[in-house]
Amino acid sequence: MTTDSFYELDRGMGISTRSLLILSDIHGHAEVAKILASRYQGVDGILIPGDITNFGKAESVKTVLAALMPNKGVLGIHGVSGNCDTLSARRYFSSLGLDLEAGSFETQELLVIGAGGGLRRAGITSFERNEEELEAAMGPALDAASKKTGPRPRSKPIIVVTHSPPYGTNADLHAGMHVGSKAFSRLMGRYNPEVWICGHIHESRCVSLEDETLVINPGPCALGYHALLELRWEGEGLAPTVKASLVSI
């Protein structure tokens, strides 16, 4: 196992810690997901930024989740659907209460929100959205989260999980061109969430500070790529240190 890159955003020393395993673009490879999750039995939760399946149905989601459940930690599994997740797969995932687009996940320490779907290109995959649809899916949740947590520095960080990456970042480069969502880029600049987790563009793995937001594209889990996110708090009322690393096997 190798750590490919690392970035730490200083928000203060931590005496309490939350660690999250990020698995994107699993594409139905439950056996790989199981291997990766078993390596991090101490994590507090798992975040999935889409493409749980490779055009599979509910049974494929069930198989992937079964592989992850033994290592889901105290925070459990949460995520969004990607463009390769079919309608039946998305409905099943949402019925379990794990879909962040259907509702945010919040603890005393952090607030996680999300929106699924891939930015529409050819229009031939299962779950594609145009810019207006992506903004409608993510904008209200970010606005509500920002009003709830207040301005930065925040003791309760906002973590955004999407399948499509924000445009113009290190997470959306394909053949040397930026192909991410401009709506997401605008929202990121407007609300400044502490962390933005995405996937979709397999070759654009990154842990990158974009203005005030740490953007993470872990790369495809199907090929053994993943990321770790750690948040540490010095004490009540203080903003955490946010640290992330890209890992491969």
Strands (DSSP E) found in the chain: 2-9, 16-22, 45-49, 76-80, 105-106, 111-115, 118-119, 128-129, 158-162, 173-174, 177-178, 195-197, 206-210, 213-217, 226-233, 241-248
Work out the average pLDDT over 42-50.
97
Residue 2: left if φ>0, alpha if ψ -120 to 50, beta else—which one?
Answer: beta
pLDDT of 77 over the 90 cut: yes
Domains of the chain: 2-248 (3.60.21.10)
130 pLDDT band (50/70/90 cuts)?
very high
5 pLDDT band (50/70/90 cuts)?
very low
pLDDT digits (tens, 9 = 90+) for 139-183: 999 999 999 999 999 999 999 999 999 999 999 999 999 999 999
189 pLDDT band (50/70/90 cuts)?
very high
Predicted structure pTM score: 0.94
DSSP 3-state of 188 = helix
Question: What is the spatial distance between Cα 103 and Cα 169, in angstroms, rounded to a whole number?
Answer: 26
pLDDT at 10: 44
pLDDT at 3: 45
Helical axes 131-149 vs 182-191, angle rounded to 10°: 10
DSSP 3-state of 17 = strand
Give the length of the chain: 249
Question: What is the spatial distance between Cα 244 and Cα 198, in angstroms, rounded to a whole number?
Answer: 13
pLDDT of 123 over the 70 cut: yes
What is the residue type of 63? T
Least confident of 11-25, 68-82, 218-232: 11-25
